[in-house]
Structure 1
């Protein structure tokens, strides 16, 4: 389980056979002339592994015990094994295997494992990590900003191909900035793409478009681990504060999009009327920015004149003076007359 789900029983279940048993062996044999003291630890304690908080802690104890014995001049080797391709690993489903692959961990065969074991016995180091790492996948993750364990920063460099691709994206632009100035439909489409991409990444799907918006996460095969991973991915991508129970409270991708639409709603525009005006101004701004470079001078002057008149109209409608126009009681004729006057049409 994850850290928040730990309790005394869960900790005891893994600490008793791991940490406590190892400590008893240490105490019972420290005065004997041993040639070797070998501990089977796990890469979970070195690199981390989602949903194995107690297991990672117990194995971290084994690594520390090996270092402690070395400090006392006693033999010890703690092997923080990576994933094996046989045994329990053979029972993993496709989602779990895809998650391990994204984390850059490949399976070890029995032949490779025996060779790594022999090599470890020849090493003077107290703690070693016999594991197969997919450096290509880890470089890709580093380039995409997905994050890798800090202990690997010295051996994993972002791939040149991914770095070049990332350079074409807006540098440092947050999702909120990408959403700013867009219509509700455009924001919905952008968030829909985001949710589909993250769901597909967690499930190991090649095509994000294949994610069914109305299908429940439970039916897709999500469990507690994949639920936490999706929540973490969306939190990092969106900057929004999302609950750990995200996929249970919002059980479909469509429901997630609605939540993000609400979480990332622009802070301006307190009313529907204000929102529609701002959206129209956003469209106008984009139209002006994308207009023909060689627009005629008289046309540009006409646009400038209209913009000045619209500014004056807005100021007259929202001035702080005693003569404010009451928009709730004004008649249609009075409103049209004001607009005609401001635009110079009367």
Structure 2
């Protein structure tokens, strides 16, 4: 471009404005930097009117916008919503109205993935960006140029830095290098895309979080691929139980009564919850307080599930804390999943072992017990992988053995 008109609310007084002008001038462009709030229709009209007719406006790139702190939609005030919508949605609306009919080569809107795949606690920001996507569709329907890009996270500062960057990374959003993002932008505009999302994901981390509470048609084609073992990201927390991870827990539970097992599992749940929430004190996790009240969100819920998988040897669903909303309820579920009946039998065997050591030495008593225990052992063994019924020759009578031979040889 021979001439660039750059606007922001502070114009030349914006941080980095002088350096930017120098860089662009060095590349051969003339640069005008002016203060203008794009949502101010009169001021915006004045900026556009000042453009030299000999070098008419050929393209608009709208990048303005304000993010918002995480606020539940029920607590989002009208004033806060208006503040968020003003720069991004209202500014885009004014640019559209003032440039319609100019035959622009490009009308580019910087939208956000918040309006496509969502962003927890940022309903106003998501709405503002969804408006940009809809505006691009409306312009295309009128025969006007329009491309709305729903961006993921850019590296190098801006809205994504510090804690925001760390949070997005934990949620599976990788930071894009600006050079790569700009190349993708050129492709989208050059191909004439109306709405497109450009982002870099760690799918092994993002997909389990995104699909935790309900199916997502947006990524339905990606979930099956994510289930392949080679797609697992060890940093995201493998959903599979670790070999031997539940051995110590099983040993602890085997000799306990049903009430004692449940209490022990409550302790396990509180310990893992405290670790995920970084409280460090399991006793602060009240058994009958809802996980949601404790501060759990989808991300911590997934980490919590992964830790419990490792502790119990189970393969638990990602929706665990939503299906069983308190530590006490979850402990009962774990007790059932771990097989309360199995632990009851194991506990009975422990008691039987102790009783056997106290039996008298009468041979007939011990032979009778050995026979009955042998029969129980055969019942506990896994069934043989054959279609024929299992035959225990050691316990069969002579008539039963001859009958089996006759059937095998086809005599009867």
| TM-score class, shorter | 0.5 to 0.7
Taking a change above 3 Å as real, the CA distance of residues 201 and 260 of structure 1, as seen in their structure-2 partners, is: closer
Residue 8, structure 1, aligned to residue 78, structure 2: yes
Equivalent position of 2:187 in the other structure: 119
Q: CA deviation at 1:127?
A: 0.8
Q: For 1:78, what is the secondary structure of its paired residue?
A: strand
Counterparts of 1:121-136 in structure 2 under 5 Å? 121-136=189-204
Q: CA deviation at 1:60?
A: 0.7
Taking a change above 3 Å as real, the CA distance of residues 107 and 29 of structure 1, as seen in their structure-2 partners, is: same
Aligned length in residues: 245
Residue 158, structure 1, aligned to residue 262, structure 2: no
Contact 2:139–2:146 (8 Å) recurs in 1: yes
Equivalent position of 2:262 in the other structure: 187
Counterparts of 1:231-250 in structure 2 under 5 Å? 236-240=319-323, 242=325
Equivalent position of 1:213 in the other structure: 282
Question: Relative to total residues, which structure has the larger strand share, 1 or 2?
Answer: 2
Question: Relative to total residues, which structure has the larger helix share, 1 or 2?
Answer: 1
Residue 285, structure 1, aligned to residue 345, structure 2: yes
Q: CA deviation at 1:88?
A: 3.5
Contact 1:103–1:138 (8 Å) recurs in 2: yes
Distance 1:16 1:144 in 2: 32
Contact 1:41–1:60 (8 Å) recurs in 2: yes
Equivalent position of 2:109 in the other structure: 39
Q: CA deviation at 1:66?
A: 0.7
Distance 2:321 2:294 in 1: 20
Taking a change above 3 Å as real, the CA distance of residues 198 and 64 of structure 1, as seen in their structure-2 partners, is: farther
Higher relative contact order (CA 8 A, sep 6+): 1
Equivalent position of 2:369 in the other structure: 298
Q: How does the TM-score come out when normalised to structure 1? A: 0.56
Distance 2:153 2:141 in 1: 29
Structure 2 alignment gaps of length 5 or more: 1-70, 233-237, 243-252, 286-292, 305-317, 334-339, 354-365, 374-412
Contact 1:50–1:225 (8 Å) recurs in 2: no
Q: For 1:88, what is the secondary structure of its paired residue?
A: coil
Q: How does the TM-score come out when normalised to structure 2? A: 0.48
Q: CA deviation at 1:45?
A: 0.9
Two-structure CA RMSD over aligned residues (Å): 4.4
Equivalent position of 1:322 in the other structure: none
Q: For 1:129, what is the secondary structure of its paired residue?
A: strand
Q: For 2:110, what is the secondary structure of its paired residue?
A: strand
Distance 2:176 2:231 in 1: 30
Contact 1:43–1:80 (8 Å) recurs in 2: yes
Structure 1 alignment gaps of length 5 or more: 170-178, 204-209, 217-223, 243-258, 268-279, 303-346
The structure with more radius of gyration: 2
Q: CA deviation at 1:83?
A: 0.9
Equivalent position of 1:207 in the other structure: none
Taking a change above 3 Å as real, the CA distance of residues 75 and 102 of structure 1, as seen in their structure-2 partners, is: same
